Chain A
């Protein structure tokens, strides 16, 4: 296992379109996290799963965002009706302890 992977690495979409990102965690990790990072800022927590259960969602996460982790393995993050303010790097991380290990991220550009 080589670490956390994310797909796609880059996504350009028009405002109003839906997009979906995938994250494959380190296989033995039971917790999976989604973060968003904008220029000049650190990553901001969006949501996390323990196995297949979604345990918490940030109040920053609007109703247009939804995440799933079927069977406690990979996870998807969907953004509906994208807005220009959604342009950011979306990072996934996985963990079995306090240390979280990040994937390379998906850079979303909404035009």
Chain B
């Protein structure tokens, strides 16, 4: 059963605009949430995380929002840059083990 879902397989955005990636989860025991970025032929790279006791965390161009009541989180990237073109995975942690979504492929257009 897929406990973490990313319902948009792809997203195309113009350079300089905002990218918004969404993620939903079903397990209320998840206590920490993370976003990873992956380029082809490389392992996932950690981007940003948020504890379940917070609703927002910001790091430079990246902001993650958590809505626990809706079991929903999102990643905002602003402004989007060509180097942001990659696959983005949402992950949720329970007992230090991660469950991943299927990923969203982001393409930043010049």
Q: Of the candidates B42, B44, B45, which one forms a contact with A43 in the assembled complex, judged by CB atoms under 8 Å apart?
A: B44
Tally the A-B contacts, defined by beta carbons under 8 Å: 56
Q: Of the candidates B42, B46, B99, B101, which one forms a contact with A100 in the assembled complex, judged by CB atoms under 8 Å apart?
A: B46
By beta carbon, the residue of chain A nearest B32 is A98
Most buried by A among B4, B51, B98, B103: B98
B interface majority secondary structure: strand
Number of interface residues, chain B, beta carbon within 8 A: 23
Q: Does the CB pair A42–B43 fall under 8 Å?
A: no
Q: Of the candidates B32, B43, B97, B102, which one forms a contact with A102 in the assembled complex, judged by CB atoms under 8 Å apart?
A: B43
Docked Cα-Cα span, A44 to B49, in Å, equals 19
Q: Does A85 contact B (CB under 8 A)?
A: no
Q: Does the CB pair A98–B93 fall under 8 Å?
A: yes
Interface residue range, chain A: 20 to 34
Contacts of B101 in A (CB 8 A): 42
Contacts of A48 in B (CB 8 A): 96-97
Q: Does the CB pair B43–A45 fall under 8 Å?
A: no
Quick one: given A98-B32, A98-B34, A99-B34, are A45 and B97 in contact (CB under 8 Å)? yes
Contacts of B93 in A (CB 8 A): 98
Question: 1/0 per residue B45-63: CB within 8 Å of A?
Answer: 1100101000000000000
By beta carbon, the residue of chain B nearest A48 is B97
Question: 1/0 per residue A81-111: CB within 8 Å of B?
Answer: 0000000000101010011111111000000
